[in-house]
Amino acid sequence: MNATIVPIGPPTTPPSGTTDAEAVLSWIAKRYSCREFDGSTIDPEIVDAIIESGLQAPSSCNQQNWHFVAVSDTAMKKRAREISGGNHHFEFCSVLIYLCFQKGWTHDKFSVVQSVAAACYQMMISAHLRGYASIWNAGIGDTKAIAKMLGIPPTFEIQGALCIGLPKPNAPAVKAPRRPRGEVWSWNKFQRPHYAIYPAKPAQEYPFFRITNSKNPFAEWRPRIWGWDRVADFRGYSVWAKSPIAGVYRSRRQGDATSVEVGLLSDVPPGSRVLDVMPWGGTHTTELIRKLGPEVEVDVAELAQANLSFIQERLRQEGISRPVGEVTIKDGHIPLASDSTDVVTMFQVLEHAPEPEKLLDEVHRILKPGGTALISVRNLLSLYGWRYLRTESKASVPNQGPFVPMTAGKVHAMVTRRFRIEREIGISLRAEADAAVYEGRLTRRMCRLFALRLVKP
């Protein structure tokens, strides 16, 4: 699991006269996905040339049943952003190209889809070689609304959208990690490390068309079945599903609850050491650092180096310049000395852990006597928990990794065996967004989030 994260820098054109194959391929490999465009315009002739490059890609049966709709109109790009559910790069790229194909011809093995994908990538290379950044998205929103906006007939499928433009000067210029050789190809027979094969519920077969993002009968959500290594692999790569820009991963369900969770922390004296455990995209880390004084040492513990690299770039994009240490958790073990840490935070983490009791033991071990732990979990005994059981858990595992909400009562029992509880609260009786705090004995254990401030005796 030695993923490589490559700092790229802003796109430029390749050196004049570059003809060596390896040099050209090396230049092409520097292409990265950009989500922060500067909103500048682009010459329509350049767009035409980029699309023309895509038309040179192979096409199933050479029928070329693809169609590309280039959108440069400001109002239409804004509407595209709204339809997508918030992809801001749809609005601020120079041109948004919708990728379509005619339905009904050469669908075996998705051949017509493969054709459009090949053309799309060729356009991305063409844009990159011309000094432009790009990003391809399948998450485009309601295709009926897009078809209405663009006048696309119902016999054509809208497969995705390609954004092209110049990045903002401060946009993350970093290529997401690529898997190392030996994980994704083999000779003469299938060979792949077990941690790079994600578990599915046992079945005699796995029909492709029974599996969708919103409904996957084979999805395995239990972290204990995944194990630490596969959870680490999944989270380390999937976090890069979004560029580490400021504000990313602030979910609608979470709302303002992050501030409430972090707000459980009392004043931390200068010279203290704080460890933020498994924050994934760094949202909690960002709020935590902003709350702490500059003389407090902050470390982040994650399961994969790729995840730590993402968080570091995310913090930079948030304007946080202070150094943040990195700790890599291995098989649930936190490689820090016993009685070495003043504060440990684990926000919505236990439900992701293959061995939550082991993780709590580690937190107890590394905390100094009198040290503080902040812990929150998604509560199974809540409206959110009911929705999780009825709908959410029927879908594919999300990019944040497999998890199963825990009841507040179970968490309370787990922590009281190790810590003294200073405060416990519930956050939101609703299934999402609301961040109202409840402290009543019954209501706090019925909220979406159950949060505690703990002290090591």
**CATH for 88:** 3.40.109.10
Q: Are 147 and 269 contained in the same domain?
A: no
**Is position 448 within any domain?**
yes
**Of 144, 174, 204, which marks where a domain is finished?**
174
**Is position 194 within any domain?**
no
Rounded to 5 degrees, what angle do the CA atoms 109, 113, 115 make? 105
**Is position 93 within any domain?**
yes
Region of poorest pLDDT, from 3-17, 29-43, 162-176, 336-350: 3-17
Task: List, for residues 227-246, the tens digit of each pLDDT value.
Answer: 999 999 999 999 999 999 99
48 in Cβ contact with 95 (< 8 Å)? no
**Is position 389 within any domain?**
yes
User: What's the pTM?
Assistant: 0.92
Range of the domain at 350: 257-455
Confidence band (pLDDT; 50, 70, 90) for 404? Answer: very high
Q: Are 163 and 264 contained in the same domain?
A: no
**Is position 443 within any domain?**
yes
Q: Are 332 and 450 contained in the same domain?
A: yes
Domain count of the fold of the chain: 2
Number of CB atoms found within 10 A of residue 435's CB? 17
Mean of pLDDT over the chain: 94
Q: What six digits make up the tokens of 109?
A: 């093995």
**Is position 222 within any domain?**
no
The mean pLDDT of 27-46, rounded to a whole number, is 94
Of 115, 366, 330, which is closest to residue 228 (Cα–Cα)?
A: 330
**Of 174, 193, 218, which marks where a domain is finished?**
174
Task: List, for residues 191-217, the tens digit of each pLDDT value.
Answer: 999 999 999 999 999 999 899 999 999
**Of 147, 174, 201, which marks where a domain is finished?**
174
**pLDDT for the residue numbered 251:** 78
Task: List, for residues 302-355, the tens digit of each pLDDT value.
Answer: 999 999 999 999 999 999 999 999 999 999 999 999 999 999 999 999 999 999
Q: Are 270 and 161 contained in the same domain?
A: no
What does the alpha-carbon distance between residue 269 and residue 290 come to, in Å, rounded to a whole number? 15
Q: Are 291 and 160 contained in the same domain?
A: no
If phi > 0 it is left, if psi is from -120 to 50 it is alpha, else beta; for residue 290 that is: alpha
**Is position 379 within any domain?**
yes
**Is position 49 within any domain?**
yes
Residue 295: CATH number of its domain: 3.40.50.150
Q: Are 162 and 284 contained in the same domain?
A: no
